[in-house]
């Protein structure tokens, strides 16, 4: 993998930009010492990159680290810092030696590039969901986590409840034990995908770019389309250029615990079929259901409840001890319980992988990416979870590793 080009020349960003990747305010670390303050030796310097509606919540996930916000991405936060120095390029923030951790809350088309650059710069990363915009980005982030020895976690925490539940722990043990002779499990997830809410506009008329927005930088690796306000803010989710609709918005939440419970942190579905109307090339639209089958026979069904006939092929079926013969049950009882998931704080302090680390988060993200590819292509697809390519369908496979707008690349 090539390194991201740190020396790319770009036009001068608009001073005071509050909407793009934006202005960063900085407070020096030395002000943290003294009576009543956590000493610098026990404090983690942290930067928030992307401070829209979710930015504050993402940064809040670092509070157990005694994280001090050394950088922020909105001029509205200038009055919260002692030093009013402004950055308008996230790469300048990553150059700072007093920043140890980066929280990323930009639109998803920036997640992979910033995560990789941050880890290359020696920072640990807490990233917003969804992890990435397409599958090859997720693999690049997972490889960067290993290569640079950094901690990475996606900010969804459903798996932490799952790994404390005795029934779910048992399910994971069964699924990971390789003792199942035949897996007939079916997990059904219905509604809650915000399909209509996060659909894009079709044939929206171009509008002037606001003075406070660097539209070129906002688009970054995505195509440089004509500006429209629906493409920024929360409604950016309705466009393939930046995210993937309500499916991409919600799935990392829903299936972060799923991949843990059913032992899918190291694999992905192999056959995916969607029921949806023809997809628009730019604007995310409606869909009905998606069936995703794993190589072991396990089936995951996503049913939106917002379009077409509901899914009626299979019924939910849990995995239990009854699926094992007596000898296999004895072997299972001798196996240790899975290791509890580490929080981001625990991972940073112990230098061991976090729950929802890059590999696990990538496999969860593959669920939504493969579902969206099947929706966009309009036919059944077959995926190789080892090589991470779609088999025998070049049009579909182009959506696995999508081109980035120059000069950006992974």
pLDDT, average across residues 151-155: 92
Q: Is residue 149 part of a domain?
A: yes
| Structure tokens belonging to residue 318 | 């849990």
pLDDT, average across residues 346-359: 94
Instruction: Please give the pLDDT value at position 41.
Output: 52
Confidence of residue 257 (pLDDT cuts 50, 70, 90): very high
Q: Is residue 222 part of a domain?
A: no
| Whether residues 270 and 390 fall in one domain | yes
| Whether residues 262 and 307 fall in one domain | yes
Q: Is residue 227 part of a domain?
A: no
| Whether residues 146 and 175 fall in one domain | no
Instruction: Please give the pLDDT value at position 22.
Output: 43
| Whether residues 124 and 32 fall in one domain | yes
| Whether residues 146 and 269 fall in one domain | no
- Domain of 117, CATH number, reads 3.40.50.720
Instruction: Please give the pLDDT value at position 211.
Output: 86
| Whether residues 315 and 274 fall in one domain | yes
Instruction: Please give the pLDDT value at position 1.
Output: 41
- Domain of 290, CATH number, reads 3.30.360
| Whether residues 304 and 342 fall in one domain | yes
> What's the distance, CA 209 to chain centroid?
28
Give the burial class of 281: count Cβ atoms within 10 A of its Cβ; 0-12 exposed, 13-18 middle, 19 or more buried. Answer: exposed
Q: Is residue 74 part of a domain?
A: yes
Residue bearing tokens 């056959």: 271
Secondary structure class of 165 (helix, strand, coil): coil
The last residue of one of the domains, among 156, 179, 211, is 156
Instruction: Please give the pLDDT value at position 213.
Output: 84
C-alpha to C-alpha distance for 219 and 59, rounded to whole angstroms: 23
Q: Is residue 325 part of a domain?
A: yes
| Whether residues 297 and 176 fall in one domain | yes
pLDDT, average across residues 115-137: 96
Q: What share of the chain is helix, strand, coil (3-state, %, to 5)?
A: 35, 15, 50
- Domain range for 249: 159-198+241-397
| Whether residues 168 and 135 fall in one domain | no
The last residue of one of the domains, among 90, 124, 156, is 156
Q: Is residue 341 part of a domain?
A: yes
The radius of gyration computed from the CA coordinates of the chain, to the nearest angstrom, equals 22
Q: Is residue 230 part of a domain?
A: no
Put residue 150 in one of left, alpha, beta given phi > 0 → left and psi -120 to 50 → alpha: beta
Percent of the chain having pLDDT more than 90? 69
| Whether residues 246 and 133 fall in one domain | no
| Whether residues 112 and 68 fall in one domain | yes
pLDDT, average across residues 145-171: 92
**What residues have CB less than 8 Å from 47, skipping those under 6 apart?**
24, 69, 70, 71, 72, 93, 94, 96, 99, 101, 102, 103, 123
Q: Is residue 382 part of a domain?
A: yes
Instruction: Please give the pLDDT value at position 205.
Output: 95
Confidence of residue 29 (pLDDT cuts 50, 70, 90): very low
Q: What is the pLDDT of residues 68-103, one digit of tens each?
A: 655 554 444 444 443 445 566 788 889 888 889 988
Percent of the chain having pLDDT more than 70? 81
Which residues partner with 381 through β-bridges?
Answer: 272
| Contact between 243 and 249 (Cβ < 8 Å) | yes
| Whether residues 166 and 259 fall in one domain | yes
Instruction: Provide the whole-model pTM.
Output: 0.88
pLDDT, average across residues 5-24: 35
Structural domain tally of the chain? 2
Closest CA to 10 of 216, 212, 213: 216
């Amino acid at each position: 993998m090539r390194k991201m080009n740190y020396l790319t020349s770009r036009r001068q960003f608009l001073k005071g930009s509050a909407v793009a990747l934006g202005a960063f305010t900085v407070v020096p670390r030395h002000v943290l010492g003294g009576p009543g303050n956590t000493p610098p030796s026990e404090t983690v310097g942290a930067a928030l990159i992307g401070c829209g509606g979710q930015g504050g919540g993402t940064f809040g996930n670092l509070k157990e680290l005694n994280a001090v916000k050394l950088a922020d991405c909105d001029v509205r936060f200038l009055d919260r810092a002692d030093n009013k120095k402004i950055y308008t390029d996230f790469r300048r923030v990553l150059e700072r030696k007093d920043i140890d951790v980066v929280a990323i809350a930009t639109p998803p088309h920036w997640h992979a590039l910033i995560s990789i650059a941050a880890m290359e710069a020696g920072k640990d990363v807490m990233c917003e969901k969804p992890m990435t915009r397409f599958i090859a980005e997720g693999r690049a982030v997972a490889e960067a986590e290993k290569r640079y020895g950094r901690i990475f976690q996606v900010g969804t925490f459903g798996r932490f409840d799952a790994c404390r539940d005795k029934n779910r722990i048992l399910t994971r043990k069964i699924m990971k034990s390789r003792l199942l002779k035949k897996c007939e499990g079916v997990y059904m997830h219905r509604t809650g995908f915000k399909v209509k809410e996060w659909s894009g506009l079709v044939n929206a008329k171009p509008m002037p770019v606001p003075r406070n927005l660097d539209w070129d930088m906002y688009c970054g690796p995505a195509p440089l389309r004509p500006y429209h306000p629906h493409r920024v803010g929360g409604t950016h989710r309705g466009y393939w250029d930046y995210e993937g609709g309500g499916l991409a918005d919600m799935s990392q939440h829903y299936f972060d615990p799923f991949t843990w419970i059913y032992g899918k942190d190291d694999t992905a579905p192999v056959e995916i079929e969607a029921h949806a109307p023809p997809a628009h090339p730019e604007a995310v639209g409606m869909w009905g259901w998606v069936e995703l089958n794993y190589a072991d026979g396990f089936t995951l069904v996503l049913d939106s409840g917002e379009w077409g006939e509901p899914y009626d092929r299979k019924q939910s079926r849990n995995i239990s001890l009854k699926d094992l013969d007596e000898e296999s049950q004895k072997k299972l009882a001798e196996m240790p319980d899975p290791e509890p998931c580490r929080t981001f704080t625990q991972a940073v302090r112990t230098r061991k992988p976090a729950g929802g680390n890059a590999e696990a988060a990538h496999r969860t993200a593959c669920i939504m990416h493969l579902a969206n590819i099947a929706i966009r292509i309009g036919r059944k697809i077959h995926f190789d979870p080892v090589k991470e390519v779609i088999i025998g369908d070049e049009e579909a496979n182009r959506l696995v590793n999508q081109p980035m707008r120059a000069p950006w690349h992974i």
